[in-house]
């Protein structure tokens, strides 16, 4: 019993001394033959010591260094090989069997080849290779290497560095043969994560059998920029010919737009049917004598139907019926709106409104609508072409990233232009400026991201990177804007919007003397306009116009006391909108959703900084 406890204690101490590692690499032998075509034939003999049973070892071998990408070829092993992955930058595989485990000392033989080719350095040739990468997960007690060269090398230009990644300290030792064609060396007691890197600089042309690398990036990019500039000119021409709106000259009008309810005015003004449009219809219907609004307490409203709605427009009848159908058919309360199916009815009304504005009442010019598909296709095309031209000879991962950024820029421009286009008539100028500034900042951020990718990852020159980065963000953004603005209004929409703009001018700018005269001839003027003011976001502006002007009490309002105050009814619309419409419809669309409406170095190099190496461990 005592002996067993002593053995257990010794095992614990041993594992602690080994840094709690259940295996180590006793010896790692590397033999590499360098070819005149800058290819490497590599043999590895790895001796592992497993203190606990493991299946075998695994290797991770890099296949990318800077802009140079290669393959691991002719892979052979003394043990079964299981490929785990082969990504853009790494090849990962396991040696051993998943059905068997090994303990104690086990030797693994591994061979493979690298075809590096042209190092793309016009000043000199070099071998800059991680004999041992920084990805090894266990200590290596002894590492020995032999590197054979096809021609003599300069001993003064041989450097061996080691240690943690980035270290420039010499580690280990090496010797160069008399014919200066072979380097042998070794290093002992390497910790997990320590690398050993050999750099040998030769005169340019040493690798005499290398096929020169021809970089077509610049000519391909130049051609791409010409193509993208040409299609941009075409898209701009289409916009100028088919998408430019007619001169918009709104004339002040003192009557509501012809045959348009507030709901339709709201849709025409911003392109959506939202809760604000419904709120305006309640006051519109009340003014028409169709319902009574009773305020019984804070956030306690009862709506009573006085008579059936008389209109030829199916979407208005549907909205009116669905509103009271949430109650008993005659009256409806806030709680009933919250529990009913009114929100789903609103969705149907939205579709009916969109259907209403088709055919002779369509809101866009059909020719311009067809022409803007060119800008839509050009946006995606420019993002693809610019990403491919700058990264096809550099890296697949960078290509995907640049493509995503280009498409994102295009989509962001689509969204921004759509939002600004919707709200140009009724939106706040301050909000438009804020959205534009936010978009500019977003594009600036995207530009700097692309610039980093071009300079740091793809290692392009500064001027090239600057030009291509501007293009990869700017051109898709331009096409996104053109896709939206080429959608010209139809003659019918132009006429309607001119009337709406003229009516807005009246609500915002009518002078008090004229307003007094109008009230004298029409005492209910304030209430006739209120629904339209609400949907245009001008209810407070309209109410303030009546300061000092007496108005009659609304016949359709029942409350704690009689009130004849324009500001009160403006505030009433806000309370009804927030307490009734927003709350009722939001409650039904629960779950947090919105309403359904709406190389290298001329030095010794550094540890881990060369090609190859990688890492490994046990599995």
The CA angle 435-440-441, to the nearest 5 degrees, is 100
* pLDDT in the model for residue 12: 45
C-alpha 517/C-alpha 507 separation (Å) is: 15
Q: 101 vs 55, 56, 432, CA distance in Å?
A: 4, 7, 68
pLDDT-based confidence at residue 179 (cuts at 50, 70, 90): very high
CATH label of the domain that carries residue 32: 2.60.40
Tens-place pLDDT, residues 347-393: 888 889 988 988 888 888 888 888 989 999 999 999 999 999 988 77
pLDDT-based confidence at residue 67 (cuts at 50, 70, 90): low
- Name the token pair of 1: 């019993």
- Res. 618: pLDDT tops 70: yes
SS3 435: helix
* pLDDT in the model for residue 449: 93
* pLDDT in the model for residue 584: 55
β partners of residue 34: 40
For residue 258, tell me if it sits in a domain.
Answer: no
For residue 292, tell me if it sits in a domain.
Answer: yes
Higher pLDDT, 565 or 264: 264
Contact 619, 55 (CB under 8 A): yes
Which residue carries 């392109």 as its tokens?
A: 271
What is the DSSP code (8-state) at residue 242? I
Domain boundary among 433, 467, 485: 485
Q: Kindly report each contact of residues 349-358 with a partner whose C-beta sits within 8 Å and lies 24 or more positions away, as own/partner.
A: 349/273, 349/315, 349/318, 349/319, 349/322, 350/272, 350/273, 350/597, 352/314, 352/315, 352/318, 353/263, 353/264, 353/267, 353/273, 353/315, 356/313, 356/314, 356/315, 357/267, 357/268
Tens-place pLDDT, residues 245-269: 776 667 788 899 988 999 999 888 8
Q: Do 320 and 446 belong to one domain?
A: no
Q: Do 83 and 27 belong to one domain?
A: yes
Over residues 213-224, mean pLDDT = 86
Phi then psi for residue 194, to 5 deg, are: -85, 140
Q: Do 477 and 572 belong to one domain?
A: no
Q: Do 208 and 146 belong to one domain?
A: yes
Q: Is residue 449 packed enough to be buried (19+ CB in 10 Å), middle (13-18) or exposed (0-12)?
A: middle
For the chain, the domain total comes to 3
Q: DSSP letters along 384-398, please?
A: HHHHHHHHTTT-HHH
Q: Do 102 and 65 belong to one domain?
A: yes
Tens-place pLDDT, residues 412-448: 998 888 777 766 666 667 777 888 888 899 999 999 9
Beta strand extents in 116-225 (DSSP E only):
124-132, 135-136, 140-148, 158-163, 173-176, 182-190, 195-203
Q: Do 147 and 285 belong to one domain?
A: no
The CA angle 485-488-491, to the nearest 5 degrees, is 155
* pLDDT in the model for residue 293: 92
Contact 51, 26 (CB under 8 A): no
Over residues 212-222, mean pLDDT = 84
Over residues 474-494, mean pLDDT = 89
Which residue carries 């301050």 as its tokens?
A: 430
- Name the token pair of 399: 């290509």
- Res. 101: pLDDT tops 60: yes
- Res. 597: pLDDT tops 60: no
Contact 261, 506 (CB under 8 A): no
* pLDDT in the model for residue 366: 86
Tens-place pLDDT, residues 107-150: 999 999 988 888 777 788 989 989 998 889 999 999 999 999 99
C-alpha 531/C-alpha 524 separation (Å) is: 13
What is the percentage of the chain residues whose pLDDT exceeds 90? Answer: 44
* pLDDT in the model for residue 427: 61
Q: Do 538 and 495 belong to one domain?
A: yes
Contact 515, 546 (CB under 8 A): yes
pLDDT-based confidence at residue 3 (cuts at 50, 70, 90): very low
Tens-place pLDDT, residues 521-563: 999 999 999 999 998 889 999 999 998 888 888 989 998 777 8
Domain boundary among 465, 485, 505: 485
pLDDT-based confidence at residue 213 (cuts at 50, 70, 90): confident
β partners of residue 173: 186
SS3 575: helix
Q: Do 453 and 567 belong to one domain?
A: no
For residue 3, tell me if it sits in a domain.
Answer: no
For residue 438, tell me if it sits in a domain.
Answer: yes
3-state secondary structure 15-57: HHHCCCCCEEEEEEEEEEEECCCCEEEEEEEEEEEEEEEECEE
Q: 467 vs 189, 382, 454, 460, 461, CA distance in Å?
A: 50, 15, 10, 11, 10
For residue 33, tell me if it sits in a domain.
Answer: yes
β partners of residue 82: 94
Q: What is the mean pLDDT of the chain?
A: 84
Beta strand extents in 97-171 (DSSP E only):
102-115, 124-132, 135-136, 140-148, 158-163
Q: Do 385 and 239 belong to one domain?
A: yes
Domain that holds residue 505: 264-364+490-588
Q: Do 100 and 223 belong to one domain?
A: no
Domain boundary among 443, 468, 485: 485
C-alpha 595/C-alpha 277 separation (Å) is: 13
For residue 7, tell me if it sits in a domain.
Answer: no
Q: 310 vs 157, 284, 288, 313, CA distance in Å?
A: 96, 13, 10, 9
For residue 617, tell me if it sits in a domain.
Answer: no
Q: Do 497 and 481 belong to one domain?
A: no
For residue 520, tell me if it sits in a domain.
Answer: yes
β partners of residue 85: 92
Q: Do 172 and 85 belong to one domain?
A: yes
pLDDT-based confidence at residue 18 (cuts at 50, 70, 90): very low
């Amino acid at each position: 019993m005592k002996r067993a406890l002593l053995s257990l204690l010794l095992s614990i101490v041993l594992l602690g001394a080994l840094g709690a590692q259940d295996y180590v690499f006793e010896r790692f032998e590397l033999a590499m033959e360098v070819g005149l075509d800058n290819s490497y034939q590599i043999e590895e003999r790895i001796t592992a010591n497993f203190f606990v049973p493991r299946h075998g070892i695994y290797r991770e071998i890099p296949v990318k260094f800077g802009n140079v990408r290669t393959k691991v070829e002719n892979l052979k092993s003394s043990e079964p090989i299981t490929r785990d992955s082969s990504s853009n930058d790494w090849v990962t595989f396991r040696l051993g069997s998943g059905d068997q485990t090994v303990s104690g000392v086990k030797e693994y033989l591994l061979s493979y080849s690298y075809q590096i080719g042209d190092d793309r350095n016009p000043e000199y040739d070099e071998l800059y290779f991680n004999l041992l990468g920084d990805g090894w997960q266990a200590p290596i007690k002894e590492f020995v290497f032999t590197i054979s060269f096809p021609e003599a090398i300069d001993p003064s230009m041989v450097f061996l560095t080691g240690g943690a990644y980035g270290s420039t300290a010499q580690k280990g030792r090496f010797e160069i043969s008399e014919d200066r064609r072979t380097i042998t060396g070794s290093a002992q007691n390497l910790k997990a994560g320590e690398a050993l890197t050999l750099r040998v600089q030769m005169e340019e042309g040493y690798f005499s059998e290398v096929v020169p690398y021809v970089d077509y990036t610049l000519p391909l990019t130049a051609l791409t920029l010409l193509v993208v500039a040409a299609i941009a000119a075409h898209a701009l021409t289409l916009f100028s010919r088919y998408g430019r709106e007619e001169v918009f000259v709104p004339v002040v009008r003192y009557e509501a737009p012809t045959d348009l309810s507030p709901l339709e005015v709201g849709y025409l003004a911003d392109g959506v049917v939202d809760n604000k449009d419904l709120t305006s219809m309640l006051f519109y219907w009340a003014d028409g004598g169709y319902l009574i609004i009773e305020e019984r307490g804070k956030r306690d409203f009862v709506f009573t139907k006085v008579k059936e709605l008389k209109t030829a427009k199916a979407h208005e009848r549907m909205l009116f019926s669905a509103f009271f159908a949430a109650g008993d058919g005659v009256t409806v309360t806030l709680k009933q709106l919250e529990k009913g199916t009114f929100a789903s009815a609103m969705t149907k009304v939205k579709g009916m409104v969109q259907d209403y504005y088709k055919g002779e009442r369509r809101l866009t010019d059909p020719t311009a609508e067809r022409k803007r598909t060119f800008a839509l296709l050009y946006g995606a095309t420019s993002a693809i072409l610019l990403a491919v031209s700058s990264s096809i000879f550099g890296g697949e991962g960078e290509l995907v990233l640049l493509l995503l950024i280009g498409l994102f820029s295009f989509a962001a421009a689509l969204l921004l232009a759509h939002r600004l286009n919707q709200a140009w008539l009724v939106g706040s100028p301050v909000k438009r400026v804020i959205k534009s500034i936010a978009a500019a900042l977003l594009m600036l951020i995207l530009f700097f991201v692309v610039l980093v990718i071009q300079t740091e990852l793809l290692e392009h020159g500064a001027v090239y990177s600057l030009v291509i980065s501007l293009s990869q963000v700017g051109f898709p953004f331009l096409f996104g804007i053109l896709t939206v603005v080429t959608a010209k209004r139809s003659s019918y929409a132009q006429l309607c919007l001119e009337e709406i703009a003229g009516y807005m001018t009246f609500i915002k700018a009518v002078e008090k003397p004229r307003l007094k005269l109008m009230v004298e001839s029409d005492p209910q003027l304030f209430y006739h306009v209120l629904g339209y003011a609400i949907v245009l976001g001008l209810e407070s502006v309209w109410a303030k116009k009546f300061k000092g002007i007496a108005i009659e009490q609304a016949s359709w309002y029942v409350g704690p006391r009689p009130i004849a105050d324009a500001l009160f009814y403006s505030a009433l619309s806000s309370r009804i909108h927030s307490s009734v419409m927003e709350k009722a419809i939001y409650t039904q669309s629960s779950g947090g959703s919105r309403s359904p409406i709406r190389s290298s170095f001329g030095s010794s190099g550094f540890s881990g900084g060369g090609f190859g190496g990688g890492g490994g461990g046990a599995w």
